[in-house]
Chains A and B, each alone.
Chain A
Amino acid sequence: KAGVTQTPRYLIKTRGQQVTLSCSPISGHRSVSWYQQTPGQGLQFLFEYFSETQRNKGNFPGRFSGRQFSNSRSEMNVSTLELGDSALYLCASSLNKPETQYFGPGTRLLVL
Chain B
Amino acid sequence: GQQVMQIPQYQHVQEGEDFTTYCNSSTTLSNIQWYKQRPGGHPVFLIQLVKSGEVKKQKRLTFQFGEAKKNSSLHITATQTTDVGTYFCAGRDTGGFKTIFGAGTRLFVKA
Interface residues of A (CB under 8 A from B): 33, 35, 42-43, 45, 48, 50, 55-56, 58, 90, 92, 97-106
Q: Cα distance A104–B97 when bound, in Å?
A: 20
Please report B residues at the A interface, Cβ cutoff 8 Å.
Answer: 31, 33, 35, 41-45, 48, 88, 90, 92, 96-104
Classify the interface of chain B: helix, strand, loop or mixed.
Answer: strand
Give how many A-B residue pairs fall within 8 Å (CB-CB).
Answer: 56
Contacts of B44 in A (CB 8 A): 103
A42 x B104 contact (CB < 8 A): yes
Roughly how many angstroms separate A24 CA and B96 CA in the complex, as a whole number? 24
Can you list 29 A-B pairs, Cβ within 8 angstroms, ordered by A? A33-B99, A42-B88, A42-B103, A43-B43, A45-B100, A48-B97, A50-B97, A56-B96, A58-B98, A92-B43, A97-B97, A98-B92, A98-B99, A99-B31, A99-B33, A99-B92, A99-B99, A100-B33, A100-B45, A100-B48, A101-B43, A101-B90, A101-B99, A102-B45, A103-B42, A103-B43, A103-B44, A103-B45, A106-B42
